[in-house]
Structure 1
Amino acid sequence: MSGGRGLGSRYFCTASRGLEQLLGEEVHRKLAASQVEQVSGKVFFTADADVKTLKSLKCAERLFLLVKKLPPIQMPRHKGKAVHVLQKCVIGESGKWLDVVAKWQTLQEFSKRQRCTSDITGTGIKRPLQQEDSGTWKRPKLELDEPLTTTLDEIPTGQYHLHAVIEGSCQSKVPMQTPPSPDELPNSKSQDAASCIDFRVSCRCSGRIAKVFTSQELGRAIGVALGRQMGWKAELRNPMLEVYVHLSDIHCVVGIPIVRLPLASRDYIKSAGLRSTVAWAMAYLADIKAGSLVLDPMCGLGTILLEAAKEWPNAYYHGIDNTASQLQVASANVCFAKLTNSIDLTRASVTELPLLAESIDVVICDIPFGKKFKISQDTKTIMPNILKEMVRVLSVNGTLVLLLSQELSLDIQHWQKTKSHQTNKGKLDDAQQNADTTPVEPSTHPAEKVDMENMSAAENEQAEVKREVLASLVPTGIFQVSLGVTEASIHRYKKISIT
């Protein structure tokens, strides 16, 4: 390797379930990656890139150097034998670990040199930490020996058991059980550096293996064996190296995180709203062009606008929300990200947008689920009117991208099916219309009669709005996505002319 770049190094990223395809497209486009493989929650690829380029991925949650990827491990029924098989498969040869750790160290050193270079001003004077220069935000400096403040998302770890076992047996360096041959070692410097590593294991198990072992048991077994074989020391609070292990019915994956903080933790967002990877995915699906006018009519904290403006800076962005407190935080986010020249904010109702008809090229919106923030009206009831107003301001051939709860997603798909069914069915002939001539006795209660009439009028109005909206929208894709404990769907539409 030279210049901090891996010569075709093998990596993998974790992703929100449902975004694997979009992440695969991103690594192709940004990294010129090869051997891209998508599985549930992960994307594997080979790339020659430095840390700065790798960190430019916006759809990825976390980024790892791949140590190994194996088929599912066939575990013996005897638990003791199963542990031995597990340790042998997961750890393998010492030379492989030395090679991957050497690549990891080179990437870290190159990243550190980049930060040092960016800290020097034009006069040769070192810039103070987090000082602003030329209107751009300077990322806080993160040294290699800085404590780990976050752990792997949704990954239960075996750290506590690992500490209990290793504390008495592996605090001092232990000679390698199977020393690698000289040909296996990158060089003596890499060997010395690798032997001084302290580490911890983050383990996740699912499927059949989770019925036999807990993540804590697996973390303990892998950590003890790895420490003994490599001569590494366990350190839970501030490790130099973190080892990630995922065992499932699909594969066995072992990796080393390249950066400490998740890629999904944006340094330009002060107050997070929607998960940033999902917000970026929505903007990506909107196919924003240079000079496009982009609207988020229920912008909340402005996360979608921030992600879009950072990735596609040559467009113009407008956020609207009806809640003053939300707009206040959104404004603070825009200022923090130095995007005041790109993003405008306005207070208004989504059902009465203060915009001219067909004046917007792209509409992107996270329709509130009512879980994190309360909504004053039933979203399901007013959804036809919300869509009607979005369609009104959207230009012909414009793109509409919506993030919907599962319930709303099914409702809109039902509208579409109903529309298709009515179109195919056509008009009934006179005989069919008059087939049922059985008289129905009217209600004798005046108040009940009035209520039925009002309900019928409201239903007819809603049906008319739905027909009007669906007539001008052509669905171009539905993408299922996981928001942690909540499942959602991204719907994408193109507006067509109906005249």
Structure 2
Amino acid sequence: MSGVDDATGVLSGVSLDDACKPLGENKEASTSPKDLVVTIGATVPTGFEVTAADEVQEKLGSTSRISKDRGKIYFEIPVTNLPQVHKLRSVDNLFVVVQKFNDFQFQESKEEALKDLEDLVKTLPWTDPLEVWKLNTNLKKRKTKWKKSNGQSNAKKETPEDARGEEEALSSELPDPVASVLESAEVQDPESTNETVPLEEEDDQSDGKEEVEESNGENQHESGDCEKQDMKDEPLKFRVTCNRAGDNHSFKSNEAARDFGGAVQDFFQWKADMTNFDVEVLLNIHNNEVVVGIALTEESLHRRNITHFGPTTLRSTLAYGMLRFCDPQPADIIIDPMCGTGAIPIEGAAEWPNCYHLAGDNHSLAVKRTANNISSILKQIQNKEGTCPSKPIDCIQWDSCNLPLRTGSVDVVVTDMPFGKRIGSKKKNWDLYPACLMEMGRICKPRTGRAVLLTQDRKCFLKALSKVGHLWRKSHTIWVNVGGLHAAVYLLKRSAELFENIRPQW
């Protein structure tokens, strides 16, 4: 059964008979959930919006619109493609768009501007987005049930044939990223530039982007534009998260979340709960662009590969963007000479299994973390498929300036170079960067070799690149935000010049 057939089977099995009746001012609900076409919003690593749009086009056949606010894309899908959306490798968080306003006119007075946001709640078309939220919630619930039953069956030496068949059916129905979201621990996101602001806090963020959460409601019964009697029986818990950017607003993010959340509470009769919420309503404001949405992910999808973290662990979504940037071809040898915890080669082995991925680092603890992360991924695959898995990946301890690889033997180098902050120092980078670029030029194939390198120490990198200009030429640059730091991803292409003056030991 194909992935699309699996998704269709799951969604057709989800009953919406218990859905609440929509209010008169909202648009009519579709006759069947399969007929719904909804707009999905996705947050992506800043600078890789085009990469994410290309992946959506390739895997879902949908054209994306890149938001004016960097780090977001929007695309339309039939609801049957919802499981495939969770399998996208380049997106961090997903939400279904309730409504988008390209030019929302805010009043100059704070009271009037906030009153307009309150009044907006009653006019929004909540019905279809809430049905998508219900379908998404049912996918996660069914995956959780399968995991529990699978864990119990694995504890037994023998499994009845009928139970085994049921487990295999359920495992084929649901997307892996949904499971990883549920399994992930609460870990602080080292690259998040937004901050969760409790309602009682009034301080703005220094970068102009603010995030506030207000919650309401209780439990996991499906919501929508519901009759008051139904909502009184099992009210949902919710919170409102406001992300605001721009200087032309008379209000703060926490004030917008507070008033908008109060209107949502009055409209649906939900309850506020800032932590144990069922529904997260998003209010994204970028200058005059306003987007109201409902979150479909509880945790960022970039937390999917790494179980053993280091001081500078790279996001899996950013690693995917860097790998896609270099356009890997079948049979390519791709190395990460400064792998840290192995985020780049692990992501590469998952998405490009026809290439060989080699990770290395000069620190023994980093190599150990990479090996543990690889082992953890293999165990997850074994538990799911019941077979002994293998991946085209290996790790080794080495000196990145003196690699044990033959000259011209590598197709691609992808690595996150030390910024000189948490790892190394700016002073050391002046010696490290030229030596690394020279060694990368030695091992990469002339003409076809390429390198994708991430660094925040741009001045040192460009100076080092000028010293090895006979081996590398800069092809493209992407500006990215890494943990609040303004960094760059450079695509370098190997020149046709043969590497001479090879070290005697090689």
Matched residue SS, 1:295: strand
Letter of the 2:473 partner, please give it.
V
**Do structure 1's residue 216 and structure 2's residue 254 form an aligned pair?**
yes
Letter of the 2:458 partner, please give it.
E
The correspondence of residues 420-439 of structure 1 with structure 2, limited to 5 A, is none
Letter of the 2:488 partner, please give it.
S
* Matched-pair contact (CA < 8 Å) for 2:337–2:415: yes
Correspondence for 2:347 among 303, 307, 311? 307
Cα distance, 1:107–1:139 mapped onto 2, change above 3 Å: closer
The correspondence of residues 191-340 of structure 1 with structure 2, limited to 5 A, is 196-210=235-249, 212-267=250-305, 269-271=307-309, 273-338=313-378
- Of 148-157 and 328-337, deviating more is 148-157
1:422-474 alpha-carbon deviations (Å, 9 max, x no partner): xxxxxxxxxxxxxxxxxxxxxxxxxxxxxxxxxxxxxxxxxxxx2xx322323
* Matched-pair contact (CA < 8 Å) for 1:52–1:111: no
Show the counterpart of 1:44: 74
* Matched-pair contact (CA < 8 Å) for 2:305–2:347: no
* Matched-pair contact (CA < 8 Å) for 1:403–1:491: yes
Show the counterpart of 1:442: none
Show the counterpart of 2:93: 62
Cα distance, 1:51–1:302 mapped onto 2, change above 3 Å: same
1:266-298 alpha-carbon deviations (Å, 9 max, x no partner): 155442611222111111112112221111111
Cα distance, 1:142–1:61 mapped onto 2, change above 3 Å: closer
Matched residue SS, 1:208: coil
Show the counterpart of 1:359: 409
* Matched-pair contact (CA < 8 Å) for 1:161–1:220: no
**Do structure 1's residue 411 and structure 2's residue 454 form an aligned pair?**
no
Matched residue SS, 1:373: coil
Give the superposition deviation at 1:391: 0.9
Letter of the 1:208 partner, please give it.
D
* Matched-pair contact (CA < 8 Å) for 1:159–1:220: no
Cα distance, 1:72–1:161 mapped onto 2, change above 3 Å: farther
1:2-47 alpha-carbon deviations (Å, 9 max, x no partner): 5365732110111222111111111111221135334312101111
Give the superposition deviation at 1:114: 4.9
1:150-208 alpha-carbon deviations (Å, 9 max, x no partner): 8994434465359xx999xx879xxxxxxxxxxxx999899869983221111122213
* Matched-pair contact (CA < 8 Å) for 2:407–2:444: yes
Give the superposition deviation at 1:408: 4.0
* Matched-pair contact (CA < 8 Å) for 2:180–2:303: no
**Do structure 1's residue 496 and structure 2's residue 495 form an aligned pair?**
yes
Q: Distance in 1 between matches of 2:435 and 2:181?
A: 52
1:81-109 alpha-carbon deviations (Å, 9 max, x no partner): 222112223x2426x11331112102322
Letter of the 2:402 partner, please give it.
E
Q: Distance in 2 between matches of 1:139 and 1:10?
A: 20
* Matched-pair contact (CA < 8 Å) for 1:301–1:329: yes
* Matched-pair contact (CA < 8 Å) for 2:353–2:391: no
Give the superposition deviation at 1:312: 0.8
* Matched-pair contact (CA < 8 Å) for 2:333–2:411: yes
Show the counterpart of 1:372: 422
Letter of the 1:16 partner, please give it.
P
Give the superposition deviation at 1:362: 1.1
Q: Distance in 1 between matches of 2:214 and 2:395?
A: 55
Matched residue SS, 1:364: strand
Q: Which runs of 5+ in 1 are unaligned?
A: 173-184, 417-465
Cα distance, 1:305–1:147 mapped onto 2, change above 3 Å: closer
Give the superposition deviation at 1:250: 4.6
Give the superposition deviation at 1:220: 0.7
**Do structure 1's residue 398 and structure 2's residue 477 form an aligned pair?**
no
Matched residue SS, 1:369: coil
Letter of the 2:432 partner, please give it.
I
Q: Distance in 2 between matches of 1:322 and 1:473?
A: 24
Q: Which runs of 5+ in 2 are unaligned?
A: 1-7, 15-33, 154-158, 202-212, 219-223, 379-388, 499-506
* Matched-pair contact (CA < 8 Å) for 1:150–1:261: no
Cα distance, 1:218–1:376 mapped onto 2, change above 3 Å: closer
How many percent of aligned residue pairs carry the same amino acid?
25
Give the superposition deviation at 1:53: 1.0
Structure 2 length-normalised TM: 0.73
Cα distance, 1:359–1:377 mapped onto 2, change above 3 Å: farther
* Matched-pair contact (CA < 8 Å) for 2:40–2:95: yes
Show the counterpart of 2:118: 87
Cα distance, 1:71–1:138 mapped onto 2, change above 3 Å: closer
Matched residue SS, 1:274: coil
Show the counterpart of 2:27: none
* Matched-pair contact (CA < 8 Å) for 2:239–2:279: yes
1:286-326 alpha-carbon deviations (Å, 9 max, x no partner): 21122211111111211111111111112111112111111
Show the counterpart of 2:54: 25
Cα distance, 1:286–1:142 mapped onto 2, change above 3 Å: closer
Q: Distance in 1 between matches of 2:181 and 2:350?
A: 25
Cα distance, 1:24–1:190 mapped onto 2, change above 3 Å: farther
Q: Distance in 1 between matches of 2:177 and 2:44?
A: 24
CA RMSD of aligned residues (A): 3.8
* Matched-pair contact (CA < 8 Å) for 2:426–2:457: no
Matched residue SS, 2:199: helix
